Chains A and B, each alone.
Chain A
C-alpha cells in the first residue's frame, strides 16, 4: 500500500491527516484490499464451457489452464522436452484455432477443469488455484512505477463497462498516469485494444506497456502501436527487446502474402515488410531486410536479415549464397564468424567460390544453416512440417 502514494496525485496532501484520508481513498480504489466488480463476473461465464467443447483437439499435455498468477512458461518448462517444444511451437502459431490463448484463465473454475482431457495431464494443470484472485473483470493494482490494470475474464463489452466504472469512481485519481496493462492469455483484437485505449484516454490515462501471453494480442498491440511484452513460453524478454528495436508500429499479424524485390539491396538500404520477402538479386553488406515471415534470396545474401521479426521462430531464411553479416530469426541471432588468418577481411566482402544454396532455421534456440539438398523429398514442405 505504501508504494501507491503517487506524486502525480493533485490532492496529495502533506499533513498526517491528509495522508490518512488519501490512504482511505487508495484503499477504495485498489483491489489489493477491495473486491469490486465481482458481481459482474457471471455474465461472461456461460460462454466458457461451449468454447471448451469446441476445442476437441486440445493436445495432451497442453497446459489448458493457466492461472493468472503463474507465468506461462512454468507449465512448458516442466513438460517433457518434445512436448515442451511442440507446445512452444503452437504458442508461436498465432492463427491456429487450437492455440492455447483461446483457453481463458478463469476457466480454472471447477466445472471447466473436469472437461480437460484426462490423459497426460501435467501436474501444473491440477494444482491450479481455484480462480484468479477476486475473480473479477478488472483488477487495478498500484505499483511504485504507476498503475497496473489486469483484465480478467468476461465479455469485452462488460470489461469495458467495468473498467470505465472503476475509473470513473476513482474520480480522476489515476489521471495522467501511465498504465501497465496485463491482458493475460485473452486474445484481444486491434479494435478492442483501441476501445480500451479510448476508455483510458477518457480519464487522461495512457497505456504504457501491454503484457500478454497471447500471440494474437501481441500482434494486435503491435499493429495498434503499443509497447507490448509477450510473456511467451521462452525468450520472452529478448522478443520484447527485438520488437522495441524494430519499429513496432509497422508490424501486424503473422506474415501473409509475399513481397518481391528485384535488384540489388545496397548498403544503407532497408527493406521492412510484414509479408514474406523474396529478393531476386543480391543483399549487400550493410543492407537490411526485415520480414515477419520468411526471407528468400535468389542471389547472394551478405547483409543483415531478420526473418520472423514478429516473433515467429518458424520463419526461414534461404539464399543461393548465404553469407550474411548477421542472421536473425525471431529472437535468435547468429553472427558471421571472424575471418580466418590470411584472408582479406570478412568473407562476406569477398566473392565466394561455387557456393550452394543454403537454408537457415531455428532448431532448439539456435540458428542452424544447412545446405539445400535438392533431392530432399518434399523440399521446403518437409522442412516446414518436420521442424520442432
Chain B
C-alpha cells in the first residue's frame, strides 16, 4: 500500500501555504491517517516553526539527499499526534542543493511509510517550485481572493498544466465573508470563475490563526479554533468524502460566530 503525495503551492508568497500544510497535516492525522509533512522550502524553512518542532531537528532533507543520514533519522515526530512526522528543510542550504530526481526518490520512500505525504512548496515558480511539484500525485493551490494572489495562482495553474500535466485543487484562504457580503470583495464564485479548477475548501479569515502559528500549535489541534472545522472538511475531501461547502453567505452567520467565540 502506498500513500499519496500532495504538494501545496501558490506562486505568491504569504498566502498561507505553510499554515495550510501544517493544519492539513494535523487534520489528516486526527482523522486517523499516517502523515508526513515535507518542507521543500530550502533555505527559508518555516514549516517546523508552524508545527512547533524546530527544536527537535537534527538532520534535514539535504542530509538525506546527500546520504549523510537515513530517511528515518531525519524524520521528526510530532508528539501531539499518533502518526505525524516532519521532514525539515535545510536552513543553511540553497534550493538548488536538492535535485528533482533526489526529491522524487525521497518521496517514493516516504509513500511506503505513510498514507499522505504533504509537501510545502516554496513561493515562486523557479527551481524550488518544480522540485516540490515533481513528485506530487495531487497539487493544491492556496490563494487568497486578492488580485495579486489570483493572478499568481492562475500562472501556477498554467505552469502545472503545461509542464506537469496536473489538474490542481484549490483552497481559498483568508476568506472574509463580511467583505464579500457587502460586495467589496470577490466571492468564491468570482475566484472560481477566473481560476476554473476544483475547489477543495475555503478557510475563513481568523486573527487567532496567526497566533496559533506563532505558538507552534496548528489550529487543527486546537479544539477552540473555529477554522479547525474548515481544515477538517478539506482533509475529508482529500480523503474522498463528499463534504458540502460551508455556507458563509447565510445571514446571521457572524452573530452565530460571535456567540461561538464569546465576543
Contacts and interface: CB of A to CB of B under 8 A. Distances in A.
Interface of A: 264, 266-269, 282, 284-286, 302, 342-346, 349-351
A302 B194 contact: yes
A349 B183 contact: no
B155 A268 contact: yes
Interface in B166-201: 183-186, 189-190, 193-194, 196
B155 A350 contact: no
A344 B154 contact: no
Contacts of A344: 183-186, 190
Nearest to A269: B158
A286 B194 CA distance: 11
Nearest to B159: A268
A37 to B, nearest CB: 56
Contacts of B183: 342-344
Interface string B137-171: 00000000011001110110111011000000000
A352 to B, nearest CB: 9
Interface string B15-46: 00000000000000000000000000000000
A286 B184 contact: no
Given A267-B154, A268-B155, A342-B183, 17 more contacts: A264-B196, A266-B161, A267-B158, A268-B154, A268-B158, A269-B158, A269-B162, A284-B154, A284-B194, A285-B194, A343-B183, A344-B183, A344-B184, A349-B186, A350-B186, A351-B189, A351-B193
A349 B196 CA distance: 13
Contacts of B186: 344-345, 349-350
B150 A349 contact: yes
A216 to B, nearest CB: 37
Question: Is the contact region of chain B dominated by helix, strand, or loop, or is it mixed?
Answer: helix
B158 A349 contact: no
A345 B147 contact: yes
B154 A286 contact: yes
Contacts of A349: 147, 150, 186, 190, 194
Nearest to B192: A351
Q: Which of A282, A284, A302 has the most chain B CB within a 10 Å cutoff?
A: A284
Interface residues of B, number: 21
B147 A266 contact: no
B189 A266 contact: no
A2 B166 CA distance: 66
Given A269-B158, A344-B183, A349-B186, A286 B151 contact: yes
A110 B116 CA distance: 88
Contact of B147 (A264, A268, A343, A346): A346
A267 B196 CA distance: 13
Given A282-B196, A345-B147, A267 B190 contact: no
A266 B184 contact: no
A282 B158 CA distance: 13
Contacts of A346: 147
B187 to A, nearest CB: 8
Nearest to A284: B154
Contacts of B147: 285, 345-346, 349
11 contacts: A266-B161, A267-B152, A267-B154, A269-B158, A282-B196, A286-B155, A342-B183, A344-B183, A345-B146, A345-B186, A351-B190
Nearest to B180: A344
A230 B155 CA distance: 36
B193 A266 contact: no
A349 B147 CA distance: 7
B193 A267 contact: no
A264 B196 CA distance: 9
Contacts of A264: 158, 196
Nearest to B145: A344
B195 to A, nearest CB: 8
Q: Which of B146, B154, B183 has the most chain A CB within a 10 Å cutoff?
A: B154
B154 A266 contact: yes
Q: Which of A285, A302, A351 has the most chain B CB within a 10 Å cutoff?
A: A351
B125 to A, nearest CB: 9
A266 B147 CA distance: 14
Nearest to B154: A267
Contact of B155 (A266, A342, A343, A345): A266
Contacts of A345: 146-147, 186
A66 B89 CA distance: 72
A333 B143 CA distance: 32
B151 A267 contact: yes
A144 to B, nearest CB: 46
Q: Which of A264, A269, A342, A344 has the most chain B CB within a 10 Å cutoff?
A: A344
A266 B185 contact: no
Contacts of B152: 267
A345 B193 CA distance: 16
Contacts of B196: 264, 282
A302 B190 CA distance: 13
Nearest to B197: A264
Contacts of B159: 268
Contacts of B154: 266-268, 284-286
A346 B157 CA distance: 21
A275 B194 CA distance: 27
A307 to B, nearest CB: 22
Contacts of A269: 158, 162
A343 B187 CA distance: 12
Nearest first, the 3 closest Cβ-Cβ pairs linking A and B are A266-B158, A267-B154, A268-B155
